[in-house]
């Protein structure tokens, strides 16, 4: 893979927008790639590039692979609901890893396997991917994680009425998620609603598939969406939990302490 080269996932539709960022010259870190999975209604640019993650990781000697989820960032927004389901996204991710010729884990070879960093919805996807692909994933960092997916309770009919005629949304969580989705220029709100519909068909039940590799959970102390992070930490046998003072779900991603903890954890 070359520096910043776009990749597409072969054999699946939609193609995902993927960028590869090589480790900075003269740096030394584990040779396996780090895959970054952003949150709902966000993108690689917002979650990882603008917040300084790509620079921090490449300066730490890491090769970084970023993925825009379907309907987000530079990825297409297909009409069919199946393209947005968590299981389909995990299949796309597996295909991407196989295309990159990642080899199964070997304890004495740090070029084997991958590390994952996921934020919010990306944390849910990383948890499930690690649990189902233990031979490929070495370590996982989950940012803003929770044992319950807030998208599961999203009031789709109310959101659709609001978009149609401005009707007030009674559920504050639904109203806030829709506000976030509309806040980002270029977001296809109808594609994002399709993703929510798909996610509702595949509820997040973290106890059904638990990652056995080391997991670092990181959340802001004021992050309402991550109040159940300790429940996830109890499920995973090799989990650590880090709270970021005064941080919320919106701004934990920019924390220097978060980046430093993640880089140190993944270097172990």
Q: Where are the domains of the chain?
A: 6-148+203-267
Q: What is the mean pLDDT of residues 164-193?
A: 91
Tokens of residue 146, six digits = 């929770």
What is the model's pLDDT at position 184? 84
Whether the CA torsion 98, 100, 101, 107 is positive or negative: it is negative
Nearest to 215 by CA among 147, 140, 160, 163: 140
pLDDT given at position 227:
96
Residue 112 has pLDDT above 60, yes or no: yes
Q: What is the pLDDT of residues 222-262, one digit of tens each?
A: 999 999 999 999 999 999 999 999 999 999 999 999 999 99
Measured CA to CA, the distance from residue 196 to residue 154 in angstroms comes to 8
**Helix (H, G, I), strand (E, B), or coil: what is residue 97?**
helix
CB 115 within 8 A of CB 33: yes
33-51 average pLDDT score:
96
Please tell me the pTM assigned to this model: 0.93
What is the distance between the alpha carbons of residues 214 and 107, in angstroms, rounded to a whole number?
A: 13
Does 14 have pLDDT greater than 60? no
The per-residue pLDDT for 1 is: 37
Query: Mean per-residue pLDDT for 169-193?
Result: 90
Distance CA 86, CA 104 (A): 23
Instruction: Give the Cα separation of 93 and 48 in Å (integer).
Output: 18
Cα(198)–Cα(82) distance, integer angstroms:
7
Distance (Å, whole) CA 141 – CA 259 = 10
**CATH code for the domain defined by 6-148+203-267:** 3.40.50.1820
pLDDT, position 100: 86
Pairing between β-strand 64-68 and β-strand 114-119 as defined by DSSP bridges: unpaired
Q: Tell me what pLDDT residue 146 has.
A: 96
CB 79 within 8 A of CB 48: no
The percent of residues in the chain predicted with pLDDT above 90, rounded, is 87
pLDDT-derived band at 8 (thresholds 50, 70, 90) equals very low
DSSP state string for 120-140: THHHHHHHHHHHH-TTTEEEE
Give the residue among 39, 88, 78, 45 at the shortest CA–CA distance from 190.
78
- Give the alpha-carbon dihedral of 126, 129, 133, 137, to 10 degrees: -10
In angstroms, the CA 1 to CA 20 distance is 7
């Amino acid at each position: 893979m070359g520096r910043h080269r776009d990749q597409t996932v072969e054999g699946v539709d939609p193609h995902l927008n993927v960028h590869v960022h090589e480790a900075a010259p003269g740096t030394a870190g584990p040779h396996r790639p780090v895959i970054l999975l952003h949150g709902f209604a966000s993108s690689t640019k917002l979650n990882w590039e603008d917040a300084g993650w790509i620079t921090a990781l490449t300066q730490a000697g890491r090769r970084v692979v970023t993925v825009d989820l379907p309907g987000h960032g530079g990825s297409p927004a297909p009409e069919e609901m199946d393209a947005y389901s968590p299981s389909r996204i995990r299949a796309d991710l597996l295909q991407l890893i196989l295309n990159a010729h990642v080899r199964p884990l070997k304890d004495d070879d740090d070029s084997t396997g991958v590390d994952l960093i996921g934020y919010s919805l990306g944390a849910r996807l990383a948890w499930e991917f690690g649990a189902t692909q233990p031979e490929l994933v070495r370590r996982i960092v989950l940012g803003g994680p929770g044992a319950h997916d807030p998208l599961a309770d999203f009031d789709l009919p109310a959101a659709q009425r609001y978009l149609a005629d401005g009707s007030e949304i009674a559920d504050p969580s639904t109203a806030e998620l829709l506000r976030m989705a509309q806040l980002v220029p270029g977001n296809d709100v109808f594609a994002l609603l399709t993703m929510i519909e798909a996610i509702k068909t595949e509820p997040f039940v973290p106890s059904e598939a638990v990652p056995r590799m080391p997991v670092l959970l990181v959340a802001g102390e004021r992050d309402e969406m991550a109040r159940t992070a300790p429940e996830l930490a109890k499920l995973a046998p090799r989990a650590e939990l880090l709270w970021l003072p005064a941080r919320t779900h919106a701004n934990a991603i920019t924390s220097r302490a978060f980046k430093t903890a993640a880089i140190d954890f993944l270097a172990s």
